[in-house]
Structure 1
């Protein structure tokens, strides 16, 4: 679904043909979405001087604006406590914007100038009405200068720490809520630290903003491969019919970062790897992989199925958990060597967790989550390992696997056994490989924040987290998190740059995972830090 505006031109014939071919169900119709924000719209980025806004939000908005996907008469206002002029903000806003592929220096400069022309800035506190009143004055100035109708839409993006979420949401609702158009608010994770704190936060937000106005971002839901799961699952009979307990032995969902906390230890130590990655990113990925077929691509139909599968997952048991913490090795400092980390912290930087889904499709299949910092490579992937083939004619043969590489280098490949060419009959593991950069070489894959911000403008909430999703997700993780917080089990040390704790491989094997014993199968490994 695209916006076409006079300023940016109409869709090409190729675009129209592509959309026509896609009408059979891969793209939701406008009837399945909320009302799109078109025409007079002001977006306010709160926390505009912070790293998230500079590195993610504003570059994403630049790309959407350049490609013509934003409303025709868009203006973007930055708001933060930092004192800056409009010009200073405009310069800060472009620090992390890179020239698009194929653009000359002059072309890029012109696009930057166009983007800067729709930016302005207001500074003020987050906990006082005076700041929001100054913001309101700026919003009204922008809106009254525009010709045309009276409908004035406002979108608020909170690129803020969670400590001020509810205060800012209340301040915006009291002082900046449009009575002449639509209002939406985008909230970043983390959504609390456990079930109780999440419920408190959600209650405070819902007291000010309706659920259909609230868009909670988990940026993994905007990643291309995660969004592709719906098509892979339900657009291919061969996959939908084999992804179940009858064929699948186990599933691993893995998150790896080849770097440590590196000066961010204070924030990380407050949350830990499970809250930072597993409870949100990896659980959301699991829910999309395992949900039943929705009746349509409408947001509520998709999110209903995600909630149903999450409700079938019992709380994680401590015997199904392995914790680790990296130590100095290979010239890199350990976690406790970081000056921003509290002395003697038991905070895990690696976690392996096993979950089970008690429903007819998945009962008995272990879902192994692994997330670690300062490990041997940077990647996020799903690995579905199928059961052994019937014994008899084969004495030693690898299991089939379906692997979905979420990042870097998006790929879908099926690991299958094949006869080694030659005069002897010997089975070797190989793959049916669809690596995106090879198969879709001329397609620009959007960044997660680009996709999600555009969805918010379109009123499509299917890739945002609903309130009851959060509630059931915290029910799964809160008991194990409280055990870690209260009993402080000592994590197993592992060297910086290792695959994880020494017991990590044995942990997976305990739940049925089998590595290729012959060691003949390799998939290209990257040591480049991904944009995780």
Structure 2
């Protein structure tokens, strides 16, 4: 695992991200016995919270064995201090040194998790560098998204952090890279001889990567309105999945080689066009039970911020030239799911042109209910020759007994402890992604594009389906994948 003790410092420990994601992930690692025996976990934030109250706040949100939660709670400590005062970090370091002095092992490693707003990334990073770096072990910093708003702000953030840390000590976290099915993408592609020969424009008609949420902004409208769905989901989560689906085989499975191929792929992405973009903004539900986006108190009544986006991308390389990649994401839709849908071309000299036959599709369901299924055509049982669509289905909940999948944050924090950069975003990868999206975002704002309205709980803007059809995607009618019970 790691030689020495481990001190985990959660900056922004009083916030929602820390409570809902960071601490539960650390607890998950504790329950799996994946933390060093000598571990302490310090929270740091501006709020003044008594230790007993803080421990209760964190452990009450954890799921699991009561005894384990009680034991974990004893590892938790809390210190309140300013984010922009050098003396506050100096004082905090004295506390860390005193706590670590009680350990028998004298190699003290420190992991800093910045669960804080991006507006204070740099000043907190400076405070860590000046006062909190371990004198007898490694120090690593996890930075949460968003990594800037555009190319200029992203480059500024990268430059500021580079002055403080080496790239090997920075871990830019995109939790989608830690999801089980995203982890499985390269195995499915490169370890199965049946798939890789088909993975090109010769056999594939289109590739859709879809992110759907069945909830709205839930009171987070003020934060969301300053970013929008493209910055919040498409530029990071979906582009990471896109890169893994479309990249060339890496030389090895090392973080450097994998990221090199992702960067090469992104550099081949053609500039996205507004004519291949649909924006949407949800209104209240048909029954009036769910409010619209503009009803959120934090959202300006004249906001043009999209809560839905569908953009078609093209990759100018020999493998993919001319094939549409349809990236689609939205809030307040008809269901919650994230999936990759690879639609294959119809066979040449099709023998059953007189029947309504759907195309083959390989679908990788990232969440919920992880699964891989292949939609294919088969003869319907009976005396006739009617064709029926069915599937070869690998649903994790059915295939694997006692399924206990780790949370994405668990995997990523563990990799950071190990020093494994494989699932984290490198600076040049981030830069080329913003080179793709910044002109698009600027064009949207300059043209004051008005998002198409769609009702809460619907499939989204009707124009999005029309766009997919226009670029060659054929939606199956009358077919429903019967998802295994989870």
**Is the structural similarity TM-score above 0.5?**
yes
Determine if contact 2:28/2:406 at 8 Å carries over to the other structure. Answer: no
- d(CA) in 2 for partners of 1:162 and 1:180? 29
1:335 to 287, 293, 297: 293
SS at match of 1:522: coil
- d(CA) in 1 for partners of 2:412 and 2:271? 30
CA distance 1:313–1:383, change in 2 (3 Å): same
1:321 to 273, 277, 284: 277
CA apart distance, 1:71: 1.7
**In structure 2, what is the equivalent of residue 409 of structure 1?**
369
**In structure 1, what is the equivalent of residue 468 of structure 2?**
508
**In structure 2, what is the equivalent of residue 192 of structure 1?**
148
- d(CA) in 1 for partners of 2:91 and 2:301? 43
**In structure 1, what is the equivalent of residue 6 of structure 2?**
41
Partner deviation per Cα, 1:179-238 (whole Å, 9 max, x = no partner): 211110000000000000000011111111110000000000000000000100110011
Residue 127, structure 1, aligned to residue 92, structure 2 = no
2:378 to 418, 421, 441: 418
**Can you give the 5+ residue segments of structure 2 that lack an aligned partner in the other structure?**
none
- d(CA) in 2 for partners of 1:421 and 1:215? 54
**In structure 2, what is the equivalent of residue 104 of structure 1?**
none
Partner deviation per Cα, 1:434-475 (whole Å, 9 max, x = no partner): 001001132311110000000000111100000000000001
CA apart distance, 1:496: 1.1
Partner deviation per Cα, 1:125-152 (whole Å, 9 max, x = no partner): 111112211210111011112223x321
**In structure 2, what is the equivalent of residue 287 of structure 1?**
243
**In structure 1, what is the equivalent of residue 305 of structure 2?**
347
Determine if contact 1:389/1:399 at 8 Å carries over to the other structure. Answer: no
SS at match of 1:481: helix
Determine if contact 2:3/2:107 at 8 Å carries over to the other structure. Answer: no
- d(CA) in 1 for partners of 2:3 and 2:108? 10
CA distance 1:525–1:255, change in 2 (3 Å): farther
CA apart distance, 1:524: 3.9
SS at match of 2:403: coil
Residue 274, structure 1, aligned to residue 230, structure 2 = yes
Determine if contact 1:132/1:171 at 8 Å carries over to the other structure. Answer: yes
Query: 118-127 vs 218-227, which deviates more?
Result: 118-127
- d(CA) in 1 for partners of 2:451 and 2:433? 24
CA apart distance, 1:487: 2.3
Query: 270-279 vs 122-131, which deviates more?
Result: 122-131
Determine if contact 2:375/2:391 at 8 Å carries over to the other structure. Answer: yes
**In structure 2, what is the equivalent of residue 442 of structure 1?**
402
Equivalent residue runs for 1:62-461 within 5 Å: 62-99=27-64, 108-148=65-105, 150-329=106-285, 330-331=287-288, 332-395=290-353, 396-461=356-421
- d(CA) in 2 for partners of 1:211 and 1:470? 13
TM-score, normalized by length of structure 2?
Answer: 0.97
CA apart distance, 1:392: 4.2
SS at match of 1:110: helix
Number of matched pairs: 482
SS at match of 1:79: strand
- d(CA) in 1 for partners of 2:467 and 2:50? 55
RMSD, aligned CA: 1.5
TM-score, normalized by length of structure 1?
Answer: 0.89
SS at match of 1:503: helix
SS at match of 1:254: strand
- d(CA) in 2 for partners of 1:512 and 1:504? 13
SS at match of 2:164: coil
**Can you give the 5+ residue segments of structure 1 that lack an aligned partner in the other structure?**
4-36, 100-107
SS at match of 1:92: helix
> Which 4+ runs in 1 deviate beyond 4 A?
none
Determine if contact 1:383/1:403 at 8 Å carries over to the other structure. Answer: yes
